[in-house]
C-alpha cells in the first residue's frame, strides 16, 4: 500500500515501523540488481529495515514489512535529496554519488558504494576533487572513463563492506 506524502509516494507501512533496528538506505536510481539481492538475502540475518529511493523511472516493489520504497519525480537530484532527507545518524547508506556520500558522512552515516568501497571522512575530499576535475575535462569536450563492468569481485566486496558497516554500527 502506498500513499502520497509531500509530493512523494511512500509505503505507508514504513511510517509506522518501530525504531531501534538497524536501517539501510539505498540510492536505488543507479543501483545494480546484485546489491538489492544481497540486501534481501542478508536481511533475515541482520534484521535491518530497508529504505530504497528511486525516481518514477525505476520500479521496485516492496518485498516485506521491513522495506519502504520511496518514489520521487524525474527531476535531477530528486532521489539524492530524498535519500539525504531520510538518512539518520547511524544509518548505513548505499550510493555511488560522491557528493551525497560527503553530506551523509557529515551526518554520521556509514556510507558504502555498490562496488563495496567504504567512503571515509579522511578520503572524501580527494574524491570530490577528482569529481570536480573530471567534470572540468568533460565541460571542455574531453572524455572520462566510466565505471568498470560489475562482476563477482564487486558483489563479494559489496557484501563484505555491508556486513562490516552493519557490525560496526552494532558494536
| Strand ordering across the sheet containing 67-72 | 2-5, 8-11, 67-72, 49-55, 23-27, 92-94, 110-112
pLDDT 10s per residue in the chain (171 long)? 343 344 444 443 433 334 577 899 999 987 898 999 999 999 999 999 999 999 988 878 778 888 999 999 989 889 999 999 999 999 999 999 889 999 999 999 999 999 999 998 888 777 767 766 777 777 888 877 777 778 899 999 999 999 999 988 765
Q: What is the pTM of this model?
A: 0.79
Q: DSSP character for 112?
A: E
**CATH classification number, 2-170, choose in 3.10.450, 2.40.160, 3.30.160, 3.40.50:** 3.40.50
Amino acid at each position: 500500500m502506498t500513499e502520497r506524502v509531500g509530493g512523494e509516494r511512500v509505503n505507508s507501512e514504513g511510517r509506522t515501523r518501530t525504531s531501534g533496528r538497524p536501517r539501510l538506505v539505498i540510492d536505488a536510481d543507479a543501483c545494480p540488481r546484485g546489491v538489492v539481492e544481497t540486501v534481501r538475502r542478508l536481511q533475515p540475518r541482520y534484521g535491518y529495515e530497508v529504505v530504497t529511493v528511486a525516481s518514477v523511472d525505476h520500479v521496485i516493489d516492496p518485498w516485506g514489512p521491513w522495506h519502504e520504497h520511496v518514489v520521487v519525480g524525474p527531476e535531477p537530484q530528486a532521489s539524492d535529496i530524498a535519500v539525504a532527507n531520510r538518512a539518520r545518524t547511524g544509518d548505513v547508506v548505499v550510493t555511488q554519488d560522491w557528493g551525497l556520500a560527503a553530506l551523509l558522512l557529515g551526518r554520521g552515516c556509514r556510507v558504502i558504494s555498490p562496488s563495496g568501497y567504504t567512503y571515509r571522512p579522511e578520503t572524501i575530499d580527494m574524491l570530490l576533487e577528482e569529481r570536480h576535475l573530471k567534470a572540468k575535462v568533460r565541460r571542455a569536450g574531453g572524455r572520462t572513463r566510466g565505471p568498470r563492468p560489475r562482476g563477482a569481485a564487486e558483489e563479494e566486496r559489496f557484501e563484505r563492506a555491508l556486513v562490516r558497516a552493519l557490525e560496526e554500527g552494532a558494536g
